[in-house]
Amino acid sequence: MRTFDELKQLLIQIKGNDYNVTDGTNVDGIIADMLKFIGHTDWELRDKLIYSTFNSWVDNGTLSTTQMKHILTTCLSEQYLFYGIGEKDTDSVFTRAFSSLAIALAFCLHDEKPFLTTDDVLSIQETVLRYVSQEKDYRGYVDGKGWAHAVAHIADVLVNISCCSVDNDYCIGYEGMSKILQTVKTLICNNEYVYTAEEDERLVTTFLIAADLHKFTAKELIGWIDSFNMTDTEYWKGTIPNDYYIYINRKNFMRSLYFKLQSQISTEGFDEICRHMCSFLIES
């Protein structure tokens, strides 16, 4: 196994070679080292080298489906996606958040070289939703250590799961998409932290997928929007500042959604949803 400095120098060299590796390179060994340091507090190694290398190796075909299965299985494990779960303001968030990004990359490779089954996707969804229910560190950027962005990263995974298909059939279906929309609502109705790093923008995409790919009706989606009202005591507790945090997160999300819908107004049903959202925002 390479040390921190050895891995960093190697990845700098690989990046300088446009992420290409020479014949005979032990890619499996490099993957093992990158997974070892995936949550390191050095932002350059974690973000600019390890993640960018994984991403580029998906794009240029370096990673095989077998290697990606190994990465996926590792990153979904208790030692990665659930490492230090429930902690707040600790460095464990970097392991969880960047494991999420690696999981998202697995879906990107699947789009090019299908290797996941429907059962695989449903199992991943179950694990990811369990993770979301336990994540308590909502920070975006951490001074001196770079992006944590756990919510934004898992939002990307939710999008990938929602879009994933096997043999031209969407894996999760209507029921699975309903669970994801409920998870998005739970993330937005966070009463401990006001999102500051465009997490709302990343979460909006799941709503658009529900409307476009999973054929939720305008009435159903309007009902989901209305469910954010302050009568839902599961989230609104009548306490300050906690209810105010929800209020701000909800308003920012709805604004982002409204303008995203406006840009795609030609999609069936979006005009009706936009009109309703305008009233919802005014009344809020």
pLDDT on residue 266: 60
Residue 267 pLDDT grade (very low, low, confident, very high; cuts 50, 70, 90): low
DSSP-derived letter for residue 45 is I
pLDDT on residue 280: 78
pLDDT tens digits, one per residue of 42-96: 999 999 999 999 999 999 999 999 999 999 999 999 999 999 999 999 999 999 9
Gyration radius of the chain's alpha carbons: 20
One-letter amino acid identity for 163? C
pLDDT at 233 over 90: no
Please list the residues that pair with 142 across neighbouring strands: 146
Structure tokens at 111: 């789009």
Which of 246, 135, 155 minimizes the C-alpha distance to 195? Answer: 246
Spans of all domains in the chain = 192-206+217-284
Distance, in Å, from the CA atom of 122 to the CA atom of 161, rounded to the nearest integer, reads: 9
Which of 172, 171, 190, 130 minimizes the C-alpha distance to 154? Answer: 130
Structure tokens at 100: 């999420």
Q: In the chain, pLDDT over 90 holds for what percent of residues?
A: 80
Which of 268, 284, 280 minimizes the C-alpha distance to 218? Answer: 268
